[in-house]
Amino acid sequence: MSDILKWQYSQKLISAEEAVKMVNSGDHIFYGEFALFPETLDEALAERINELSDVVLTGVSFTRPPKVVKADPERKHIIMRDFHYGKVARYLHDDNLCSYMPITYHQGPRLIRKYMHMNVVYAVVGPMDGKGFFNFGLSNSVTHAAMDKADLIIVEVNNNVPNCLGGNQESIHISNVSYIVEGKNSPLLELPAAQPSPTDHKIAEILLPNIEDGSCMQLGIGGLPNAVGALIAESDIKDLGVHSEMMMDSFMELYDKGRLTGARKNIDKYKIVYSFALGTRKMYDFLDFNPMCASYPVSYTNDPRIMALNDKVVAINNALEVDLLSQVSSETMGLRQISGTGGQLDFIFGAFQSHGGKGFICLHSTYTDKEGKTHSRIVPSLSPGTVVTVPRSVVQYVATEYGIVQLKGKSTYERAEALISIAHPQFQDELIKAASSMNLWVKTNKIEG
């Protein structure tokens, strides 16, 4: 590292306490993405929260409750907003401490550059390299866009952040950084692999024949994608590629098994393309300086036009409910915000555009509520307040443990009949009656097959 870079570093290095003094009432702060939470800056800001008012925090899928929000239980000083709900935002939302920001994920960087202004960006980064760059590590979806619209860019250095190669816009040079805070170097959040349920395994078995040699994979989060990954790992499928918003342990394991090469991709050949990573430390170490992997902003990974340049894109995502009109909800149950649109709409749209591509919406046929009552996830119509994540005009395949149906090119009655055929048998008769009352004519009173 040159002497001039060392000097620049020393001139911009300040304490967290000094950094948060630069925040004023009414400021809008970008609070980072996913596993890269600005812990040190958050703790310092919480200490002076009573001095401030109307401070807006915006982040992407908070993975820990901000102390600054917990210090303001009546929401007198802080307004918290999240682009994608996980467990943290969901429960803060239940206490009226967090609001959801609807977003079509691939438009996120453009949305920020076009309509939002950030007074301050807090970004967790890896240590500065010999060329003067700080790497964004595990989260690159909208961070650079937020920096482009910021008055102050304050990086919090954590030595545990892996250096994730690009792609593009995966780092920032010290000349563009306002101030540097050296953080506590806490271990990064790890997301253990969700254990697939028997139903997940059944759906995965149904999906597997639809994954061909050379398919380009996108997997969502949860037990089902892990079940799919495990089955592929033990199969003879070869030359898989990855173009996904999320990098997960399953992809690393497929690479280790020799199933994933990227050799048949049309763009980013031989590269695992992703925008953010959540998983185990083993996977984070796998990403560190790995030229096989390429980190891109979500405006690249999730743009349907770009992903569709690859052939045989296979997108597998979960849903909460599908109604007989074939509308998909993957983010709310009634008025309760559970998750977010995320990249589901992007990838279902893009997979259909891909030559030989397939976009799957997957769901368990039933769920059990807190009182022990079983409900169908295929319903006559979505309940009031439920948000449509994927409109019926975009839906391609829907899968449950009872089979897969392809809905493109089908009328409303054909869609209703197809969906009833993969509903739990316990609910098929009442769904047939509901379809009839909705003027969704069903050919028979009994679904066969």
Q: In the prediction, which pLDDT does 222 show?
A: 83
Which residues, given as ranges, of the chain have pLDDT below 70? Answer: 442-449
Rounded-to-integer distance, Cα 80 and Cα 398, Å: 35
- What the block records as the tokens of 391 is 């409109």
Helix 223-233 to helix 249-256 angle (10° resolution) is 0
- What the block records as the tokens of 77 is 């000083």
* pLDDT, tens digit, 9 for 90 and up, residues 169-223: 999 999 999 999 999 999 999 998 788 999 999 999 999 999 999 999 999 888 8
**Partners of 332 in beta bridges:** 337
Q: In the prediction, which pLDDT does 381 show?
A: 97
The answer to whether the CB of 320 falls within 8 A of the CB of 400 is: no
Q: Is the pTM of this model over 0.75?
A: yes
| Pairing mode, strands 336-337 and 358-362 | unpaired
Q: In the prediction, which pLDDT does 444 show?
A: 54
First-residue to last-residue Cα distance in the chain: 68
The answer to whether the CB of 348 falls within 8 A of the CB of 315 is: yes
Q: Which amino acid is at 399?
A: A
* pLDDT, tens digit, 9 for 90 and up, residues 391-440: 999 999 999 999 999 999 999 999 999 999 999 999 999 999 999 999 99
Structural domains of the chain sorted by starting position, each given as residue range(s) with its CATH number in brackets: 3-182 (3.40.1080.10), 198-437 (3.40.1080.20)
Q: In the prediction, which pLDDT does 449 show?
A: 40
245 is catalytic: yes
Q: Which residue is catalytic, options 39, 43, 170, 245?
A: 245
Residue 87, judged by CB atoms within 10 A of its CB (0-12, 13-18, 19+), counts as middle
Helix 412-421 to helix 425-437 angle (10° resolution) is 160
Q: In the prediction, which pLDDT does 1 show?
A: 82
Q: In the prediction, which pLDDT does 103 show?
A: 95
- What the block records as the tokens of 368 is 């059990």
Q: In the prediction, which pLDDT does 52 show?
A: 97
Rounded-to-integer distance, Cα 243 and Cα 306, Å: 10
Q: In the prediction, which pLDDT does 447 show?
A: 45
Please give, one letter per residue, the 3-state secondary structure of the chain.
CCHHHHHHHHHHECCHHHHHCCCCCCCEEEEEECCECCHHHHHHHHHCHHHCCCEEEEEECCCCCCHHHHCCCCCCCEEEEECCCCHHHHHHHHCCCCEECCCCHHHHHHHHHHHCCEEEEEEEECCCCCCCEEECCCECCCHHHHHHCEEEEEEEECCCCCCCCECCCCEEEHHHCCEEEECCCCCCCCCCCCCCCHHHHHHHHHHHHHCCCCCEEEECCCHHHHHHHHHHHCCCCCCEEEECCEECHHHHHHHHCCCECCCCCCCCCCCEEECEECCCHHHHHHHCCCCCEEECCHHHHCCHHHHCCCCCEEEEEECCEEECCCCEECCEECCEECCCCCCHHHHHHHHHHCCCCEEEEECCCEEECCCCCEEECEECCCCCCCCCCECCCCCCEEEECCEEEECCCCCHHHHHHHHHHCCCHHHHHHHHHHHHHCCCCCCCCCCCC
**Partners of 118 in beta bridges:** 150
The answer to whether the CB of 313 falls within 8 A of the CB of 301 is: no
CB atoms within 10 A of CB 2: 10
Rounded-to-integer distance, Cα 208 and Cα 197, Å: 16
- Furthest-apart CA atoms within the chain: distance in Å: 80
Q: Nearest Cα to 48, choosing from 18, 70, 78, 21?
A: 21
